[in-house]
Chains A and B, each alone.
Chain A
Amino acid sequence: MKNRKSKNIKLAGFFGIATLFLASCGNSEHYRHCVDKDGKVMPDSLCNCRDENNNYRPGYGMGMSPFMWYYAGRSFGYGQSVYGGGYSPSPGVSYSSPGVSRGGFGGSSEGSGGHGGSGGSAGE
């Protein structure tokens, strides 16, 4: 007979999360920019090699990129020189990119069903 049973379900993290059903944070008025070595705003994609603390992400090499994340309490336009902030995020602060908008998904669930909970379900 074929074995159809899962052998060993390891779910330590999953069990914990059942009591930590978290809602995410909203927007903030703090901004993150990708800047070049002169502090000029560049496309965010040039900073994808770095994590939020400007360390290199695994697999992206070491010490080769002149681009870094810059954190500030205001936004700057593309090509502008940044000031008034720093290269480390402040703990507990949520940062946006100037060109990022949110809320464009998730609006169709109003009124749909589910087995309970605060909103409608998208599953079936």
Chain B
Amino acid sequence: MKRITIAPRENWKDVTEKQGLIYNTLDDGSVYWDESAYYEFSSSEVDEIERVTYVLHQLYLDAAQHIIDNNLFDKLKIPSPVIQLIKDAWEKEPPALYGRMDLGYDGENIKLLEYNADTPTALVEASVIQWYWLQDRFPMYDQFNSLHDKLVAKWTDLKDYVDKTVYFAHLDNNEDFMTVAYIAETAKNAGLATKFILMSDIGWDEQNKYFVDLENNHMATIFKLYPYEWLIHETFAGGFVGSYKYTEWIEPVWKMLWSNKAILAILWELNPNHPNLLPTYLDAKKFDGNYVKKPIYSREGANIEIVRDEVVASTGGDYGEEGFVYQQLFELPEFDGNYPVLGSWMIDQDAGGMGIRESKSLITDNRSRFVPHLFK
């Protein structure tokens, strides 16, 4: 893996915005889409990243089965009303669409940092923007990115299992809306009808005991870019639990197992010394003073602490109430003061591609830049 600096396209801002990346800069005007550099991989490196992604996927399947078989929901702080839903959904195997594994890669070791399996973003940039960047700049080279084709193929597979109209529920902000708009586009490519709705506009029909859109039509299939750990604590949580069997929620509720960071400790317990896992525990005392502390529920790098005998880096936030996991620190490679984390995408059961987020610190958060990649 090499980091190569390059002059950005003069019109990159305009081009990427027209391609859907309306959040290509951050609130303070600094870049989010950063094409002043790119990462170059060899084909064999990409083969290995892809292989490890499949390995980790299998470990997650086994770990979820282990949690269910041994009733370990308390370790994940999953509240009792949704436990039976998770068990039923795991058994029934309802449609699941996507997830993003965050990997540390130093050119030799590939280590799982965490798995964003419920509401991953940075998809538009990984699937579309860097693909067009490659066509513009290096059409002779390749990119680990068949995300678009795989998303369309997955929706095509799901056509017999979901309602004819798929609702895309989201919050009122640029990034979330463009993410669901893009995923909806792939569903449309597969021949499905799509509608958008704000999470706050979803209606609960008390008479019929199901969720409805703004025209009060039953919403039978809902893709939600909204984390379960929020949804199940809100006013409609009771309706959600009671009506789950009448609604196809994508992602399915069993993704609460995979998106929960406490599963990292279970993965390590089940697979000690696995080459692609980092030692992770629910107790900091297992380490000799050097570790990363992560809330079991946290988003976008919030409430993370890096400890080297003392806290050397940290981020703020409102998470941590449910507890923490403690993970061995992986030394991310440094390229001129930049630390990359690989986001390896799964489209259901298929490894679909990669996006790279880069930070000036060891913690990748919601201000980390997206940098394109290619391989030769």
Could you list which residues of chain A lie within 8 angstroms of chain B, going by C-beta atoms?
1, 3-7, 9-11, 13-15, 17-18, 21-26, 32, 43-45, 48, 52, 58-59, 78, 94-109, 111-124
Contact = CB atoms under 8 A, between A and B. Distances in A.
A8 to B, nearest CB: 8
A58 B234 contact: no
A31 B206 CA distance: 15
A13 B121 CA distance: 20
B202 A114 contact: no
B203 interface: yes
B270 to A, nearest CB: 24
Interface residues of B, number: 87
Contacts of B109: none
A79 B8 CA distance: 66
Nearest to A107: B234
Given A11-B20, A106-B200, A119-B171, A101 B206 contact: yes
Contacts of A23: 172, 198
B60 interface: no
A4 B353 contact: yes
A47 B208 CA distance: 11
A94 B212 CA distance: 13
Contacts of A26: 201
Nearest to A111: B318
B206 A95 contact: no
B174 A116 contact: yes
Interface string B204-236: 111110101011111000000111001101111
Contacts of A103: 200, 235
A94 B178 CA distance: 25
Contacts, number: 238
A121 B171 contact: yes
A77 to B, nearest CB: 10
A23 B46 CA distance: 40
Nearest to A1: B43
Contacts of A25: 201, 214
Interface string B166-180: 000111111111110
A100 B198 contact: no
A112 B226 contact: no
Interface of B: 17-20, 22-23, 25-27, 32, 43, 46, 50, 116, 119-122, 127-128, 131-132, 134, 142-149, 164, 169-179, 181-182, 185, 188-189, 196-208, 210, 212, 214-218, 225-227, 230-231, 233-236, 239, 299-300, 302, 317-318, 353, 365-367
A97 B175 contact: no
29 contacts: A4-B146, A6-B145, A6-B149, A11-B128, A18-B20, A21-B178, A96-B216, A97-B205, A97-B216, A98-B207, A99-B206, A100-B205, A100-B212, A101-B204, A102-B203, A105-B202, A108-B233, A113-B299, A113-B302, A114-B175, A116-B25, A117-B23, A117-B173, A118-B173, A120-B171, A122-B226, A123-B120, A123-B121, A124-B119
A13 B207 contact: no
Given A44-B216, A121-B121, A123-B176, A97 B207 contact: yes
B264 to A, nearest CB: 15
B164 A115 contact: no
A5 B130 CA distance: 11
A58 B128 CA distance: 33
Contacts of B233: 108
A98 to B, nearest CB: 8
B149 A109 contact: no
Contacts of B149: 6-7
Contacts of A1: 43, 142
Contact of A24 (B178, B201, B365): B201
Given A11-B19, A105-B236, 19 more contacts: A5-B146, A11-B20, A11-B128, A22-B196, A45-B208, A58-B164, A97-B203, A101-B206, A102-B203, A108-B231, A109-B171, A111-B318, A117-B23, A118-B173, A121-B299, A122-B227, A123-B119, A123-B179, A124-B366
Contacts of A21: 22, 174, 177-178
Nearest to B46: A4
A11 B18 CA distance: 11
Nearest to A10: B189
A114 B178 contact: no
A122 B170 contact: yes
Q: Which of A24, A101, A115 has the most CB of B within 10 A?
A: A115
B226 A15 contact: no
B119 A116 contact: no
